[in-house]
Amino acid sequence: MESKVILLVILLSLAPCWNVSAQEKTLAGEISAVPLRVDVRGNGAKFNEYRDLRGGVHSHIGLRYDRDRTYMDFQAEDIGYKDQKYELNGGRRGSFRFHLRYDEIPHHFTFGSRASP
């Protein structure tokens, strides 16, 4: 559900960009995927206190649309992990700008602890 909302917001925000004009336009993007193997020796909860650095593929997507006056910048990091982050900046220079951010911040105190009965 969350991902659908995020996708909808992105699409709605990009809608003004399709107003084609003779102005100079730039659409640039980058996608990176980094396979990661993590071996923690010690306090794993402290190591991952505010992050989710598990083994797996950590990805990053960046898209930038820049017209002479209108711009839009979308960034997504660690998609699918507990510290995933989506950020959308856009606006019309000289008129308005907006900043939408969805950022998950885990806070791990301990892993595998037992509660007293």
Partner 1 sequence: MGEPIRMAEVEKSPAFGLSTFTSDERDMMKKAILVLSIVPVLAFLGGGLCLQEAAGSNGTVGVEVCKGCHEDHFKTYMISTHSKKSIPGSPASQEGCESCHGPGAAHVEKSGEGGVGIFIFSKKLADAKAKSAKCLECHSEQKDLTFWDIARHKIEGVSCDNCHTVHSGTRMNLKAPQPDLCNFCHKSIRSQQNRTSHHPIREGKMKCTDCHEHHGGFGATKIKASSVNELCYQCHAEKRGPFMWSHPPVDENCLTCHVSHGSNHNKLLSSRVPQLCRNCHDYVRHPSTPTTRFETFQGPTPSNKMFARSCLNCHGNIHGSNGPSTRGKTFVR
| Contact residues: partner 1, CB under 8 A | 23, 46, 49-51, 68-69, 73, 83, 89, 93-94, 103, 105
In the complex, the smallest distance separating the C-beta of residue 89 from partner 1, rounded to whole angstroms, is 7
CB-nearer residue toward partner 1: 4 or 34: 34
CB-nearer residue toward partner 1: 8 or 93: 93
C-alpha to C-alpha distance for 78 and 73, rounded to whole angstroms: 17
In the complex, the smallest distance separating the C-beta of residue 105 from partner 1, rounded to whole angstroms, is 5
* Phi-psi domain of 56 (left: phi exceeds 0; alpha: psi -120 through 50; beta: other): left
In the complex, the smallest distance separating the C-beta of residue 29 from partner 1, rounded to whole angstroms, is 14
Q: Which amino acid is at 69?
A: R
Residue 109 buriedness (CB in 10 A; 0-12 / 13-18 / 19+): exposed
In the complex, the smallest distance separating the C-beta of residue 67 from partner 1, rounded to whole angstroms, is 9
CB-nearer residue toward partner 1: 14 or 89: 89
* Phi-psi domain of 85 (left: phi exceeds 0; alpha: psi -120 through 50; beta: other): beta
